Structure 1
Amino acid sequence: MPPSQVKAFARSPGTRAKIDRIDAELIARFTIFRPDAGRTLSAEHLRLLRASTIRRVQVVVMRKRLLAQFPAHRKSGTAKLFEDLDGELKKRLDVAIAELESRISELLGRDKHLADAARILRSEPGIGPVASSTLIAELPELGALTGEVAAALTGLAPMAQDSGTLRGKRAIAGGRRAL
């Protein structure tokens, strides 16, 4: 949401005080008055993209847990007992992941702005389709933030430790959990 629009909205009823509670109330009223201000992506489209990326992570975790059981089955001598079931389950999870990745790609391709954002993100070494779609879904304001704010929102900014044994040290912490 552009700060200039919020400031103009704040001046409209004649509010001049500058305290956090009043600022928060003004921003809340502004978002009710102009819910799509500053958004480049519709709430529905963002909701679908976010749900798809979250579901992909969930299915990948399921597959990872299944694969972690294979050595335990071999070690205990039960690998033959579960071989067919585990193989079929792994195939189903692989298909589900591929279908979700296809849906995510389709959602990103529906919007020129999103497709451009994905292309720019993927041009960076180490950023592939999964990382770029997750960044777009969980940090839709990316591109309108300073580097410091983006680092803080992703949990990559060094934060001062003001208590405990780490007093005076800095460590990365916080941020949006999915990122």
Structure 2
Amino acid sequence: MDFRVVFAILLLSVATVKAQGDVSFWGATVTMTCPGSGSWHMKGKSEPLAENTDKLEMKYAGNQDIYCQYGDDSNAQVKYYFYIQGKACETCFEVDALLFLVVIVVDLLGTIGLMLVIYSCTKKRSSAGPAPTSKPPARSRGQGPPVPSPDYEQLNPLTRTADTYSAVNRMG
């Protein structure tokens, strides 16, 4: 169990490491970040998409080869290539791995806190010894039933009816 938790945290932390350039999707928009400020070009086209900026934001239109060209002088120009391939829609967005890790950690801490609250509320309040015996309730000193109870008297043959359950069958 501990190995799996450590492995999951290690995997999520490795996934948050970023390269120099960055590509992120938000809805149908893709944002690319170049390591330096320069001009943005699409492979196969001569005119630049943008100039003197380190970020390019555009509507995603399928697989594209885009590069940024930056540097101090024209001899030492550096080209940083982006190959963009992804799925984008108006209601989609990219989930950051760090955000995902924070959600997992907060969920674990909330579950542990809830378990501690439940444990402390259900813990016994008394010692482990036997419970003290309580005294039986006092009886009232009123009159008890008469000794020959009228509930158990013989049926009077003169008051009996001929209904189904009024007859007494004596067996044996």
Q: Under a length normalisation based on structure 2, what TM-score does the superposition of the two structures give?
A: 0.24
Q: Which structure features the higher share of strand residues?
A: 2
CA radius of gyration, larger in: 2
Q: Under a length normalisation based on structure 1, what TM-score does the superposition of the two structures give?
A: 0.23
